[in-house]
Amino acid sequence: MSILFDDVLVYDRDAPSLAIGPTDVFVDGDRIAAIGLTASARADRQTRIVHGGGEHLLVPGAINAHFHSPANHLKGSLPSLPLELFMLYESSADPQLRPSPREAYLRTSLAAMEMLRLGTTSVQDDAFLMPYPEPDVIDAVMSAYADVGIRAAVALDQPEIVEADKLPFLDEFASPELSAVLHQSAPMARNELLEMYDYLISSWHGAADGRLTAAVSISAPQRVSEEYFAELDALSAQHRIPLFAHILETKSQRVLAVAQPRFRGRSLVQYTSDLGLLSERMNVIHAVWVDDPDLDLIAASGAVVAHNPISNLRLGSGVMPFRRMRDRGIPIALGVDEAICGDEVNMWGVARMAGLIHNIEGFDSASWPRAAEVLDCLWRGGAHAMLRADELGQITVGCLADLALIDLRTAAFSPLNDIAGQLVYCESGSSVVMTVVNGAVVFDDGRITTVNEAALLREVREVFAEKREVIDQSRLRAGRWHEEYREMVRRTAQVEVGMTRWIGEQ
Ligand SMILES: [Zn+2]
């Protein structure tokens, strides 16, 4: 299969206006094969010709560098709460919430379709398959990505230590009933989790013409044993796949270093570094409550930060120190986080938020994000996070053909003043008219081409309407610990940690 984009503007970060053309781009198989004068000569009778008329812009497909598909069916369903309280309701290990393979397939497809419609071509899915991962549910998630047609790197986000060790203070004042829950062993032990990784990697890594890959996830350094952390790092090195780690997302996680003896007062970044596990294969997710020594360690390691500005606002986590990271040359990727704290799976919204939120850090506009920088995070940063900076996130001959075609005749781009400014501050995703993944047209003129979107959405509505009561009951049960978790968050908020990432007084 080949495609010729004829007479289009092409995003180019090195061009003065950030675009070249109008020109032609030829896609052959899964790669970008030619740009410019030689491109049209490559077309033959079988080539699909897409006429741009000089009024379309071809951009790299957006990369959703951090995402959790298991919450896709829960968008908008929880009020805004601090992470620790939010997780109490959101990622319960309640066995009644165990998804059927069909539910896992449907909820994964749901966001995959939404992403393709909006020009997102890659997702890194840190899938928490509660209560524990099983082969049929792993198959369902991967099959959904295979069928819908997005590029996906999927990890199994599964803590394997007791809840009491992940959170500061809570165990000290928990009621006997809660304390018993906090000390229950994790639903699946480390050896069994490693077996599930064997299954994921042997069954799916490199599947669907290389579109599907495995990643590994510790969830967070405080949520796993040092042994499991090291074993996952070894898997990451062996297969050269990203290792996902939520690090210092909240103030409570910063305070944990003081509250838990095993960290000996070190920040979770320092702890990870001391274990020898902070590497260029790591995606440091969130990194809100990091200090300058943490940032120096991250920069020296070559790790990528996955920035989730909407999630950080929705959960009141704080404002990530964007400029301090950029100044140190730390690559930053962008992510939705999940559809329950996102809540739309729209990378244009994430890009806009990244372009705005850091402006409240101070008066010096020279340190605020520039639109072109945000786009660099969206595309090049995302490719970096996937460890595929040489073949994703750019429109260059030889790179993978993951592309979005933007109609410049929409309100967002009329008149065309500044490509970067309008992509970041104006575009909602509604100008995307075509999405290409791995050289295949997967969204075209308002329609997902790979699956029956309307039928899947109908089934999603039916299946999850039936599940609603089980979800509500589970949340009701979780709610009996609300005040104790809230007290933990309140106590951690009062601890002096030498910095703040909130803009208020508390
Ligand atoms: Zn996350």
pLDDT at 218: 98
**409 Cα to the center of ligand 1, angstroms:** 36
Bond from prior residue into 159 cis (ω within 30 degrees of 0): no
Mean pLDDT of the chain: 96
**157 Cα to the center of ligand 1, angstroms:** 9
**254 Cα to the center of ligand 1, angstroms:** 17
**406 Cα to the center of ligand 1, angstroms:** 29
Could you say which residues of the chain have pLDDT below 70? 505-506
243-247 β-sheet, strand order: 216-219, 243-247, 282-286, 304-307, 332-334
pLDDT at 257: 84
pLDDT at 90: 85
Residues in Cβ contact with 251 at an 8 Å cutoff, skipping those fewer than 6 apart: 289, 318, 492, 493, 495, 497, 501, 502
**288 Cα to the center of ligand 1, angstroms:** 13
**246 Cα to the center of ligand 1, angstroms:** 6
**285 Cα to the center of ligand 1, angstroms:** 7
**113 Cα to the center of ligand 1, angstroms:** 20
pLDDT at 352: 98
Whole-angstrom distance, CA of residue 153 vs CA of residue 242: 9
The alpha-helical segments, DSSP class H, found in 224-289 are 226-239, 251-259, 268-274
At 26, list the tokens: 């030829």
**402 Cα to the center of ligand 1, angstroms:** 24
pLDDT at 258: 81
Residues in Cβ contact with 234 at an 8 Å cutoff, skipping those fewer than 6 apart: none
pLDDT at 343: 84
Whole-angstrom distance, CA of residue 351 vs CA of residue 356: 9
Q: Is 278 helix (H, G, I), strand (E, B) or coil?
A: coil
**472 Cα to the center of ligand 1, angstroms:** 22
At 17, list the tokens: 């206006």
**68 Cα to the center of ligand 1, angstroms:** 6
pLDDT at 342: 83
pLDDT at 505: 66
